[in-house]
Amino acid sequence: MKQLLRNITTALLLAAACASYTATAQSGDRTFGLGDRNVSVLLGYGDGFTQKIAFDCCVFDNWLGGRGSIGIGAAVGNCLDTHWDRLSAEATASLHYQFVERLDTYLKIGAGGGYKWYDKFYGEDKGFFSWSTNAGVRWYFTRGFALNIEAGYSFGSYILAGVSWKF
C-alpha cells in the first residue's frame, strides 16, 4: 500500500511538472474563478509523514469585492508512522480570496473517515473520524501550474507543501 501511494504521488508530481511547461503565462486572470478545478499533490510532516491528493472546484465567485470565491472538493491522505499507517478521505469546502495577481489564498475545512493499521504489538486496526482545518496559498507560475503551501491540521500534518494543477 505504501509503495502504491508513493508511485501515485510521483506520477502526479511528474504530470503537474509537465503541465507547467505547456501552459501559457498568467496575466491578470482570477486564480480561482467559477468552474476552475484544482488538483494538488502535497507532502508534509506532523504526526508522521503525510501524502495528500486534493481536488477543489469553484462553485461561486465574484463576491467580497470581486476577489472572493467558494470551492467544494475532496481529499485523500495517507499518514505513515513507525508503528501505524492511516488512510483517510474527506469532503472539503474552501473560501478563496485573491489579494494580488497570481496569488490564491484560502481557508479550507474538511470532514470524513479513515482506517488505521497498527503494527501487531501497538494496537488493533480501527476506523476513525477524520477532519482538517487549514490555511493555504498557491503561487501560480503559469495559468495552470502553482506551488502550494498549507498550514493547519490535515491528515496528520501541520504543514504541507507541493504543487497544484489548474484545469
* 165's grid cell: 494543477
pTM > 0.95: yes or no: no
Q: What average pLDDT does the structure give for the chain?
A: 83
CA–CA distance, 86 with 101 (Å, rounded to integer) = 37
Beta strand ranges found along 98-156 (DSSP E): 103-118, 126-140, 145-154
CB of 38 closer than 8 Å to CB of 10: no
Residue entry with cell 486564480? 31
CA–CA distance, 60 with 72 (Å, rounded to integer) = 10
- Taking only the tens place, the pLDDT of each residue in 80-121 is 887 788 899 999 999 999 888 889 899 999 999 999 888 767
Instruction: Say yes or no to pLDDT of 27 above 70.
Output: no
Question: Bridge partners of 54?
Answer: 40, 75
CA–CA distance, 135 with 65 (Å, rounded to integer) = 21
Dihedral-angle region of residue 120 (phi above 0 means left; psi in -120 to 50 means alpha; beta otherwise):
alpha
Specify the DSSP class assigned to residue 26.
P
Cβ–Cβ contacts within 10 Å for residue 78, how many? 24
- Taking only the tens place, the pLDDT of each residue in 141-159 is 998 899 999 999 988 899 9
Which has more confidence, 27 or 77? 77
CA–CA distance, 165 with 45 (Å, rounded to integer) = 22
Which has more confidence, 7 or 41? 41
CB of 165 closer than 8 Å to CB of 16: yes
Domains along the chain with CATH numbers:
2-23+31-166 (2.40.160.20)
The pLDDT value recorded for residue 8 is 52
Which has more confidence, 135 or 16? 135
CB of 35 closer than 8 Å to CB of 56: no
